[in-house]
Chains A and B, each alone.
Chain A
């Protein structure tokens, strides 16, 4: 070890690998992973979120987690986004591609993608 920079590089590389253990993300993305969700393809969606958040370098701020059946099985895979001091946003019929889009536009850009939300689906 010759410099502090080398040390910093290791720390940076490890940062999002252990961020998941801090569990203190300001924003939580919750994927419904009950039987209905899994059958509808929730697992690839969950993994897509994890990868996209990591790629965006947001692992220490955003927690991706899972939950059981939310009770709207016909809309699975369902994803809920909880942001501090904001109303919960529920996305339905998600796919890995839509997940990447949500991270890009909503999480990073702050703009809810209305057409994927449950409000849009019900109409």
Chain B
């Protein structure tokens, strides 16, 4: 019997910040102190607070240590595990103001970051060891599957999912129960259940987190879906760039097969179900369902027109349902707790919770799960800990390259599928990138468009050519060569691409442009008319000048300049030659007197 459990995050974020080294160091340290039979080390999935990794939690106290290094381990073992004294200096400090260090928070659940969250899809992430099936079972794992195959008819299952109001978490927000209903109604000798784990939205990583932290939840949900629609085979399409997720998924499938939770005659019934993995090469278009199915079949990942929808004609021409990882992760909980429980969370048309990947200019980078209808202000200011360095919130981008921006004026809008569409953005898979006043919105639109130009598969002309033309116009504007009529051209072209493209990639590619034009048109105008970038980002529109009143002639800037563009003698005012200046900004950082301005 272990008196204490030490949980170390083994998600991708903490693994890259060195959690493996903690694991080995802790193991040897415990042995050296003869504690290996008293204290158990558990490698878990992602806790969500990736910015503070590697993360370590010590139970039963629930002490939350952040940014732990291997050098800290002997102290933690000696002080905390042996003597019961919490190592204060490593405890996560919740206070938004770094000066208030005394407000260190010892327990994980008391932090602002977790207090406002409601964890359904992520409930086991950072709690169980994902490589031990017994731990999943201890958290009620596979009881939903047992209930479904033993006590419910397929129609009951579909009706429960319908009544819960669950909508697809991958982007579009289509009601999951309806999808299952269509596939159930399709008559065929063979049907498939597919999981879209091709998380391609830059900055979003909730699906990876579930795969790494709670892979059995996905397997259980897929088996439930199989029972509901009458399928006996499932495919998980996961990107090869997620090695930890792939490894844990493989382990989970193996364990479930050994226990007979996948395979023939599950729970002694005549229900059979097995799951296979297909690795994707990481093309963004393969997140689109028809392209994904084509890729599983072994062909080049290109979309095809719908209808027929996959529920009628999907994988290898057979009726198929395809849901994303986060959607599936909700299913066992809905079965166990009932549709009413799920529908009690969220807004009128968007039920349950949603996981967001917080990134950009925010203190607590990581994963948060909140009820639908939570406002952006609550997510950014309360859970996210606000914007660092005293900067101000300017906008947030949701839905990645397919979504749009939410300006500061709409920070109090409750976030759900329909509200986001109304304000010109979309839920997408839940990427949430926070921007402060140093972000140029034209440059932002350009960034996302460069991504879609790269990722367009090239099958249809509006997307293949349209996105390139739009990017050219944006480049023209940020280079200072834009004309006012370019804005009309851009808008017209955007609407053509939106309506004419074959799949979701092209249909949503213009969104970043349209929404920045809608809310930040004045910034476009500043680039075109004044030839200025208000945020000071677009290099070609910047001019560096030295204020003669502030310059002391210390020569630091001139020595720093890589282009030899700054001239001046000691104790005399220096001057920048705009013809030679490469606008790298090195001089601004070096100047001790704040004499160099960038406008």
Residues of A at the B interface (CB closer than 8 Å) are 1-4, 7, 10-11, 13-18, 20-21, 23, 25, 31-35, 37-38, 46-47, 50-51, 54, 63-68
On chain A, the residues within 8 Å of B61 by CB distance are: 23, 65
Nearest 5 Cβ contacts at the A-B interface:
A66-B84, A14-B138, A33-B84, A1-B260, A50-B3
Instruction: Give the distance in Å from the alpha carbon of A50 to the alpha carbon of B259 in the complex.
Output: 31
Instruction: Give the distance in Å from the alpha carbon of A10 to the alpha carbon of B135 in the complex.
Output: 9
Is B134 in the interface zone, CB < 8 Å from A? Answer: yes
The reply to whether A20 and B260 form a contact with Cβ atoms under 8 Å apart is: no
The reply to whether A23 and B3 form a contact with Cβ atoms under 8 Å apart is: no
Q: Which of A10, A47, A68 has the most CB of B within 10 A?
A: A10
The reply to whether A33 and B83 form a contact with Cβ atoms under 8 Å apart is: yes
The reply to whether A18 and B138 form a contact with Cβ atoms under 8 Å apart is: yes
Instruction: Specify which of B3, B107, B127, B261 is in contact with A46 (CB 8 Å cutoff).
Output: B3
The reply to whether A23 and B59 form a contact with Cβ atoms under 8 Å apart is: yes
Is B85 in the interface zone, CB < 8 Å from A? Answer: yes
On chain B, the residues within 8 Å of A2 by CB distance are: 260, 265, 267-268
Query: Separation in Å of the A42 CB from the closest CB of chain B?
Result: 9
The reply to whether B83 and A35 form a contact with Cβ atoms under 8 Å apart is: yes
Instruction: Give the distance in Å from the alpha carbon of A80 to the alpha carbon of B140 in the complex.
Output: 33
Interface of B is mostly: loop
Instruction: Give the distance in Å from the alpha carbon of A78 to the alpha carbon of B445 in the complex.
Output: 64
On chain B, the residues within 8 Å of A31 by CB distance are: 84
The reply to whether B3 and A20 form a contact with Cβ atoms under 8 Å apart is: yes
Is B572 in the interface zone, CB < 8 Å from A? Answer: no
The reply to whether A23 and B85 form a contact with Cβ atoms under 8 Å apart is: no
On chain A, the residues within 8 Å of B62 by CB distance are: 23
The reply to whether B128 and A20 form a contact with Cβ atoms under 8 Å apart is: no
Is B38 in the interface zone, CB < 8 Å from A? Answer: yes
One digit per residue, 1 when the CB lies within 8 angstroms of any chain A CB and 0 when it does not, for chain B 239-271 equals 000000000000000000001110001111000
On chain B, the residues within 8 Å of A64 by CB distance are: 3, 60
A to B CB contacts below 8 Å, 23 in the list:
A1-B261, A1-B266, A2-B267, A2-B268, A4-B143, A4-B150, A7-B137, A7-B142, A7-B143, A10-B137, A11-B137, A11-B138, A11-B140, A15-B138, A16-B1, A18-B139, A20-B3, A23-B60, A32-B84, A34-B85, A38-B82, A64-B60, A65-B61
The reply to whether A1 and B60 form a contact with Cβ atoms under 8 Å apart is: no
Instruction: Give the distance in Å from the alpha carbon of A35 to the alpha carbon of B79 in the complex.
Output: 10
Is B4 in the interface zone, CB < 8 Å from A? Answer: yes
Query: Separation in Å of the B475 CB from the closest CB of chain A?
Result: 53
One digit per residue, 1 when the CB lies within 8 angstroms of any chain A CB and 0 when it does not, for chain B 77-105 equals 00000111100000000000000000000
Interface residues of B in 99-130 (CB under 8 A from A): 107, 127-128
Instruction: Specify which of A15, A16, A20 is in contact with B59 (CB 8 Å cutoff).
Output: A20
Interface size of B in residues (CB-CB distance below 8 Å): 35
Is B5 in the interface zone, CB < 8 Å from A? Answer: yes
Instruction: Give the distance in Å from the alpha carbon of A11 to the alpha carbon of B140 in the complex.
Output: 7
The reply to whether A20 and B4 form a contact with Cβ atoms under 8 Å apart is: yes
On chain B, the residues within 8 Å of A21 by CB distance are: 5, 7, 59-60, 127
Specify the chain B residue showing the minimal Cβ separation from A49: B3
On chain A, the residues within 8 Å of B137 by CB distance are: 7, 10-11, 14
Is B565 in the interface zone, CB < 8 Å from A? Answer: no
On chain B, the residues within 8 Å of A4 by CB distance are: 143, 146, 150, 267
The reply to whether B261 and A14 form a contact with Cβ atoms under 8 Å apart is: no
Instruction: Give the distance in Å from the alpha carbon of A54 to the alpha carbon of B38 in the complex.
Output: 13
Interface residues of B in 443-489 (CB under 8 A from A): none
Instruction: Give the distance in Å from the alpha carbon of A32 to the alpha carbon of B142 in the complex.
Output: 40
On chain B, the residues within 8 Å of A10 by CB distance are: 134, 137-138
Query: Separation in Å of the B46 CB from the closest CB of chain A?
Result: 16
Interface residues of B in 249-301 (CB under 8 A from A): 259-261, 265-268
The reply to whether B84 and A34 form a contact with Cβ atoms under 8 Å apart is: yes
Query: Separation in Å of the B255 CB from the closest CB of chain A?
Result: 11
Specify the chain B residue showing the minimal Cβ separation from A51: B1
Instruction: Give the distance in Å from the alpha carbon of A71 to the alpha carbon of B142 in the complex.
Output: 49
Instruction: Give the distance in Å from the alpha carbon of A122 to the alpha carbon of B267 in the complex.
Output: 61
Instruction: Specify which of B83, B135, B142 is in contact with A38 (CB 8 Å cutoff).
Output: B83
Instruction: Give the distance in Å from the alpha carbon of A63 to the alpha carbon of B5 in the complex.
Output: 12
The reply to whether A20 and B259 form a contact with Cβ atoms under 8 Å apart is: no
6 new A-B contacts, CB < 8 A, other than A4-B150, A4-B267, A65-B61, are: A10-B138, A18-B138, A20-B60, A37-B83, A63-B60, A65-B60
Query: Separation in Å of the B401 CB from the closest CB of chain A?
Result: 39
On chain A, the residues within 8 Å of B267 by CB distance are: 1-4
Given contacts A1-B261, A2-B268, A34-B83, whether A50 and B1 have CB atoms under 8 Å apart is yes
Interface residues of B in 1-27 (CB under 8 A from A): 1-5, 7
The reply to whether B140 and A20 form a contact with Cβ atoms under 8 Å apart is: no
Instruction: Give the distance in Å from the alpha carbon of A4 to the alpha carbon of B144 in the complex.
Output: 10
Interface residues of B in 331-345 (CB under 8 A from A): none
Query: Separation in Å of the A66 CB from the closest CB of chain B?
Result: 3
Instruction: Specify which of B5, B38, B82, B265 is in contact with A47 (CB 8 Å cutoff).
Output: B38
Instruction: Give the distance in Å from the alpha carbon of A50 to the alpha carbon of B38 in the complex.
Output: 9
Query: Separation in Å of the B525 CB from the closest CB of chain A?
Result: 56
The reply to whether A25 and B38 form a contact with Cβ atoms under 8 Å apart is: no
